[in-house]
Amino acid sequence: MSVNLLDFDAKALAGFCAEIDERPFRARQLLRWIHRSGESDFTAMSDLAKGLRDKLSATAVIEPPRVMSDHFAADGTRKWLLSVGAGNGIETVFIPETNRGTLCISSQVGCALACSFCSTGRQGFNRNLTVAEIIGQLWWANKALAEESEGQSERHRAITNVVMMGMGEPLANFENVVTALNLMLDDNAYGLSRRRVTVSTSGLVPAMDRLRERCPVALAVSLHAPNDPLRDQLVPINRKYPLRELLAACERYLQSAPRDFITFEYVMLDGVNDSVAHARELVQLVRHTPCKFNLIPFNSFPNSGYKRSSPEAVSRFRDLLMEAGLVTTVRKTRGDDIAAACGQLAGKVFDKTRRESRGLMKMAR
Ligand code: SAH
Ligand code: SF4
């Protein structure tokens, strides 16, 4: 069976080249063709000898997930639905801003961590994405955006930032995510800065430590509550890794992190975690942790059982954090007319899968 070269980072490609009796610099050439030029056809790789091209065609493929649809939102946000087989789809969202372009990518089909306010969590867990499926999201988006900007300056780079904030818990798919991160950072592939690649986690403490050792990139932690009883309800993994342990892991992470703060995400749920008392408790909780806050107004989905906090409650909460010296931003809701906002990904397409994955989740428990 052919291997998919999109599954390989530089090290793995070098290993592959050794296996087919090719010199190591071929790995660098291949990396550039695949990721920089977005080429999936070996015969087009003009600086590779004909013999090598034939050998590659016989043993390997470059196979990204298939694009099923491509949507544009009124605010410029763009969303791709990619097929990953067996009726499963994953979504990738591009968010253009004045000085940067951020791609939000997924790491799993569904998620086993079952946060109560998250539509991905409600679907249950189906499977981990392969490296090709994770990096394939960046591969496609890069290609599509390059085509869109054709005619503009050659140096124009649409994607400056990647956030692993799509579907799934990246640290629960650790090895594949780290290999994909290596490609994002590799100068022969996407060449992104460590500070501009962010992994968002709900708080898998041992995996946070491993990420710090293996591939320290910017870290966002989904906090969502100022105390254990409330966080136990909203983010059930808290029962395993409670706040004290989570904050200690954040402080350890900062010793190797490319940024000198952790970003805490905090979803604003009306009447649940958005009171003045919650804000005060939160300030106390993080008093020893260098951090910034990103408040995310809840994005609703059918039968969620939650409501978005009022704009007044969000501003009041933000002001209380700011007065305590914590840099706080409120996330603008982007692309909600195409269901591309946080927690809204993969709505209707999953109706069938959703029922099936419930069973899978029970099995996984
Ligand atoms: N599993 C990771 C990353 C994916 S979710 C994590 O939980 O951090 C990315 C962010 O969106 C997380 O902070 C998550 O809590 C938040 N989120 C999930 N559902 C949401 C919703 N319905 N509205 C607003 N934010 C949501
Ligand atoms: Fe999984 Fe993150 Fe959703 Fe929680 S918020 S269920 S960890 S994707």
Smallest-distance ligand from the CA of 105: 1
| Neighbouring C-alpha atoms within 13 Å toward the C-beta of 26 | 23
Nearest ligand, measured from the Cα of 297? 1
Output the average pLDDT for the chain. Answer: 90
**Quick one: 127 and 244 in the same domain?**
yes
How close is the Cα of 237 to the center of ligand 2, in Å?
A: 10
Per annotation, catalytic residue among 22, 91, 133, 265: 91
What lines the ligand 1 site, CB under 6 Å? 115, 117-118, 165, 169, 200-202, 222, 265, 267, 296, 298-299, 342-343
Q: Cα-Cα-Cα-Cα dihedral of 258, 259, 260, 263, to 10°? A: -130
| Residue where one domain finishes, among candidates 61, 78, 96 | 61
Is 86 exposed, middle or buried, given 0-12, 13-18 or 19+ CB atoms closer than 10 A? exposed
Contact 65, 73 (CB under 8 A): no
Do 209 and 295 sit in the same domain of this protein? yes
Structure tokens at 353: 């899968």
Residue 231 maps to which CATH number?
Answer: 3.20.20.70
- Give residue 155's pLDDT: 44
| pLDDT of residue 114 exceeding 50 | yes
What is the model's pLDDT at position 337? 64
Distance 107 CA to ligand 1 centre (A): 13
Q: Does residue 82 sit in the same domain as residue 199? A: yes
- What are the two backbone dihedrals, phi and then psi, of residue 264, each rounded to the nearest 5 degrees? -100, 125
* Ligand 1 pocket test, candidate residues 162, 165, 235, most atoms within 8 A of CB: 165
pLDDT for position 154? 45
Residues 43, 89 within the same domain: no
pLDDT given for residue 348 in this prediction: 39
Quick check: 358 pLDDT over 60? Answer: no
User: Which of these ranges, 30-44, 73-87, 229-243, has the smallest mean pLDDT?
Assistant: 73-87
CATH number for position 38 = 1.10.150.530
Which residues, listed in sequence order, are joined to residue 61 by a DSSP beta bridge? 4
Query: Do residues 44 and 180 share a domain?
Result: no
Q: Do residues 182 and 41 both lie within one domain?
A: no
Domain carrying residue 21: 3-61
Of the three residues 61, 76, 96, the one that is the final residue of a domain is 61
In a shared domain, residues 53 and 94: no
Domain identity same for 88 and 182? yes
Active-site residue flag, 17: no
Number of domains in the chain: 2
Boundary residue ending a domain (40, 61, 82):
61
34 and 110 co-located in one domain = no
Is the pLDDT assigned to residue 204 strictly greater than 60?
yes
Q: Are residues 82 and 46 in the same domain?
A: no
- Asked if 219 and 263 count as a contact pair (C-beta separation under 8 A), the reply is yes
